Structure 1
Amino acid sequence: MTGSPTVRRRRLAAALRRLREQTGMTADQAAKEVGISKSAISRIENAQVSVMPPVARGLLELYGVEGEEVDALVQVARDARKRGWWQAYDDVLPDWFEVYVGLEAEASEIRAFEPQLIPGLLQTADYARAVIRAEHPDAPGDEVDRRVELRMRRQNSDTPPKLWVVLDEAALRRPVGGAEVFAAQLRRLVEEADRPGRTIQILTFGAGEYGSMGSAFSVLTFPEPADPGVVYVETRAGSLYLEGQQVREYSRVFEHLVATAASARESRDLIQGAIDEL
């Protein structure tokens, strides 16, 4: 599941934008030179679409790139046009979330805060089914099954990212799916807390107020320096992908949450305590 075309598209978009700006050329000028529209240049540079390899080569040569660097970036363009495994789930995968799954597939680390629910990468199938049914009450059973299958598939990466999750204590108290399903989910959470590369902390009710109380978010980082980090914020209507300074701001918020939450060892005990109380 490595080599995400979503990440490749994002990498190429950043390179093309940077190279154009270095030449002092406007998007309109570049578009006219290679015979595409200004809006197409904008979509390419914002990673909204994949760029055809001949167009990528034309832009690179226009910007004065030569030799092996051209060939390397054109190969990135080819890789960006490949299908990711998640595209087999286009029937239940909205465009705005497809981008996230593509980024998640190549992330080296994900730092996530969740105020209400266990995050998707740590959910059991039954817990996920209960959440999905609540979110899509009119969806037929086969659609729910497909959505659950996609969520489970996301958990089976050959190279899983490091995962650091801060959960509000509310996530340990809301019996999603009923007592039996929820108990199994909490046991899964204990198992995950014991796995290498997994850190789970609980932000207890006793901590009082804190930053980002009502807003879940994830900060994703990638193994290649050419792929800058990104913040993912999901809303009911879609999602936001934030970069640059906003990644640093959300990282500081996450550091504050980590400092405010119970330690990983204390959090494991809190999860076990929640199981014992069911």
Structure 2
Amino acid sequence: MTASPTVRRRRLAAALRRLREQTGMTADQAAKEVGISKSALSRIENAQVSVMPPVARGLLELYGVEGEEIDALVQIARDARKRGWWQAYDDVLPDWFGVYVGLEAEASEVRAFEPQLIPGLLQTADYARAVIRAEHPDSSNEEVDRRVELRMRRQESNNSPKLWVVLDEATLRRPVGGVDTFRAQLRRLIEESDRPGNTVQILTFGAGEYGSMGSAFSVLSFPELADSGVVYVETRAGSLYLEGHQVREYSRVFEHLVATAASARESRDLIQEAIDER
């Protein structure tokens, strides 16, 4: 799979912001020098839009970057403008979630907590269809099928991230899609927990209260040191992408959930018991 343009855009944005700040220039000054608006530069530096390679080169020269470094960063600008495979699903993919799919495509590890649902990367097609239809009751069958197809495509990467997932026990008790669909989903969960690099833990009802009850989140890490981690929090209205100290805060919460949950081996037994009970 080719490098994610979403990740490249974030990397270049961080570099441009850092370089401008090192020169002591304000965003308004830098924007005027290269002939763009201050708001356009702000969107570039916040990775909201891709930057045209000539504009990237102009900014880099303004900041005193030379030689191979400038060529490498301009190449990143070109790569960041390429289309990711997920953009073929723009008809059913909101912009706010498209950003996540782009980040996920190049993540080396995803640590996720889910209080109610099996995460999308571990869902079967039938389970995904039941969830999507419940979330979009007015959608046509064709639109639901497209959303399911997108979710399955996310699982097909040749460079899939390691997954460390903590699930509330409620995810083992809610028969999404009916008994047969749910049983197949639980079997899939066991298969994924056995996959090298993956860890699945169950936070049992007996654990009582815990941090982040009722609030799902994912912490994404990337193989390149230049790409800082991201926390993804989804809501009905959109999503939040958190960075910096907030990544450390959510990582601490996740560590607490890991310590509170059943071990991976015990969790596998709990999943099997849930299958046997059906």
Shorter-normalised TM-score: what interval?
A: over 0.9
Who is 1:114 aligned against? Answer: 114
* Corresponding residue SS for 2:231: strand
Unaligned residue ranges in structure 1 (runs of 5+): none
User: Which residue number in structure 2 is paired with residue 229 of structure 1?
Assistant: 229
Which residue of the partner structure matches residue 255 of structure 2?
Answer: 255
2:2 pairs with 1:11: no
Deviation at 1:2, TM superposition (A): 3.6
Deviation at 1:214, TM superposition (A): 1.0
Instruction: Tell me the residue number matched to 1:272.
Output: 272
> 1:52-107 deviations in whole A, cap 9, x for unaligned?
00000000000011111000000000000000000000000000000000000000
What are the residue-to-residue correspondences of 1:35-184 with 2, within 5 Å? Answer: 35-184=35-184
Amino acid at match of 2:227: D
CA drift of 1:197 comes to 1.0
Contact 1:12/1:77 (CA < 8 Å) preserved in 2?
Answer: yes
SS in 2 for 1:256: helix
Runs of 4+ aligned residues of structure 1 deviating over 2 Å after TM superposition are none
Give 1:28's aligned residue. Answer: 28
Structure 2: distance between partners of 1:195 and 1:12 = 34
Give the structure 2 partner of residue 198 of structure 1: 198
Root-mean-square deviation (CA, aligned residues, Å) is: 0.4
Deviation per residue, 1:181-200 (Å, 9 max, x gap): 00000000011111101100
TM-score for the superposition, normalised by structure 2: 1.00
Q: Is the 8 A contact 1:2 1:105 kept in 2?
A: no
Distance 1:250 1:90 in 2: 30
Residues matched between the structures, number: 278
Give the Å deviation of 1:212.
0.2
TM-score (norm 1): 1.00
Question: Mind listing any 5+ residue stretches in structure 2 that lack a counterpart?
Answer: none
1:164, distance to aligned residue in structure 2 (A): 0.2
Give the aligned residue type for 2:142: D
Alpha-carbon distance in structure 2 between the residues aligned to 1:80 and 1:69: 17
Percent of aligned pairs sharing the same letter: 90
Separation (CA, whole Å) in 2 of partners of 1:243 and 1:193: 28
Distance in 2 between the 1:240 and 1:67 partners? Answer: 37
SS in structure 1 opposite 2:83? coil
